Amino acid sequence: MSPGLRAAIPVYLAGRRARGYRLDRHEQLLEAFLDSLEARGETRITVPAAVAFATASPGTRVWHAQRLAAVRSFAGYVHGRDPAAADPVPDGLIPARPVRRIPYLYSGEETVRLMAAAAALSPAMLAASMRTLIGLLASTGIRSGEAGALDTKDLDIAGQVLAVTGKHGRTRLIALHPTTAAALAGYLQIWAGHAAPGTSALLIGQAGRRLNLNTARAIFRSLATGCSLAPQPGCGFPQLHDFRHAFAVSTLINAHSQGRDVDACIATLATHLGHVSPAHTYWYLTVTPALADAVSERAALYYQGGNRR
């Protein structure tokens, strides 16, 4: 096998990561693929070798398709620089689309009930952190992992701004609603009396150190059960991550209802949610009766001559 193939891996990954892709497991995956090429006695990337590697690992068709997609992208990179070293791998050789879990879209009243239930937890620090976590997710749409990773230095109460580091390692600024900033200011007063020496974490558990998200998810499930939030038809059990979906849908409903430019709203929402592309934002948009009504009203106004864009 050409030594140039192995040398191409770090260069390829560096270029992709510079464009915002995380690619956590790709280096190990591509090295394993080249190992399989050597074991087959092949000197270049071929379609049969790529498919054989993708399907050799135990797992679902979705996992096999993901493995092939990683190899396909790398093969395209290599082929573009040296056609003799790699054949292009066509898309769709292993058709498998991930099953989309239908999110639980919390109403405002349900969010208030969950926050009230969290505030009744014991001890007091855990109650404050869980209430703050729920309120923060509902009001900003950030990921639960992003919220759990926040440090106190990321919060500017006076400026009503939150600095959030996304899963691709890039930091974005989130404008906070005045009520959210006020709630966080109140939380910090409780935090000051319970934080362990030297901790920088914004959300802390009962020991005064960074809140464990697995613990938070388990507590939230208990809170949701206590608030009688049962899975809706076709949905899984309510999760913390569902607040992100609810935020996206609510934002789009407001855009339609206020007659704002929806395309511009989607682009802004993508930046707010920390997406590399607006295409990723559509994953979070679920058609609800409220959204359908807003769109229908907008369409009716358009055809009646109102033409609110």
**Residues annotated catalytic, as ranges:** 143, 167, 241, 244, 275, 284
Residue 123: CB atoms within 10 Å: 11
> Cα–Cα distances in Å, from 96 out to 38, 181, 249?
28, 43, 27
Structure-block tokens of residue 257 = 């209802």
Nearest-angstrom CA–CA distance, 289 and 273: 23
Nearest-angstrom CA–CA distance, 244 and 275: 12
Residues 6+ apart with CB under 8 A from 281: 248, 266, 269, 270, 273, 275
Structure-block tokens of residue 268 = 């802004």
Strand-pairing partners, residue 119, are: none
Find out whether 135 and 183 touch, Cβ atoms under 8 Å: yes
Nearest-angstrom CA–CA distance, 276 and 20: 7
Structure-block tokens of residue 95 = 């058709």
